Amino acid sequence: MNEKYKAKELIDHSMMGFLGIEILAEENGVVRARMPVNDRTSQPFGRLCGGASLALAEIIAGYGSFLYCEENQIPVGSSVSGNHISSVKKGENVYVHAYATCLHRGRNTHVWNVDIKSDEGRLVCTARVTNFVVRDIL
C-alpha cells in the first residue's frame, strides 16, 4: 500500500477532510467508509445532498484504486454516475456508510460499485465509478 495517500495532512487538506469522510476498512478490493450528514453535506432543506453522496463514492473508489497503484501512479476519476434511492435527514451523530467494491481492475482503468446506506442499513445511493490510472507527475 502506498502510505503517502493515507498521510493525515493530505486528507485533512482535501475534500475528503472537508466532508469528514473516514475510511473504516480496506481489504481485498473492498473499501468501507462513513460520512456525517451535517451542514457540510446537506442541502438547504436538511437532507443529504446527492452531490455529497457522489463525492463520497468517487473519493472512496479513488482511495481503493490508489491502493492498487504502483509508486509512480495515481488514480483520476473518469466517470461517476449514481441513483439516489432514499434520503437521510441531517443530525448530530448521523452518518451514511459507503461500501465500495472493485468490479474491474485493469492496467489503466478500475471500475467500482459503491453502495451508500443509512445508519439503519437502508440503501440511500448506488453509484458506479471509473478511474483512470496515470503517472503521478507531481
pLDDT in tens, 9-24: 677 789 999 999 999 9
pLDDT at residue 12 in the model = 77
Strand partners, 25: 32
Q: Give the tens place of pLDDT for each residue, 89-120.
A: 999 999 999 999 999 999 999 999 999 999 99
As a whole-number percent, the residues of the chain with pLDDT over 90 amount to 86
Write out the residue range of the structural domain in which residue 124 sits. 3-135
pLDDT at residue 8 in the model = 63
- What nine digits make up the cell of 97? 456508510
The residues, any chain, with a CB within 8 Å of residue 97's CB and separated by 6 or more, are 24, 32, 33, 34, 116, 117, 118, 119
Tell me: pLDDT of 4 over 60. no
The residues, any chain, with a CB within 8 Å of residue 93's CB and separated by 6 or more, are 36
Query: Is the sign of the CA dihedral 100, 2, 23, 58 positive or negative?
Result: negative
* Number of domain units in the chain: 1
CATH number at residue 48: 3.10.129.10
Tell me: pLDDT of 49 over 90. yes
CA quadruple 28, 87, 93, 66: dihedral, nearest 10: 30
Residues with a catalytic annotation lie at 58
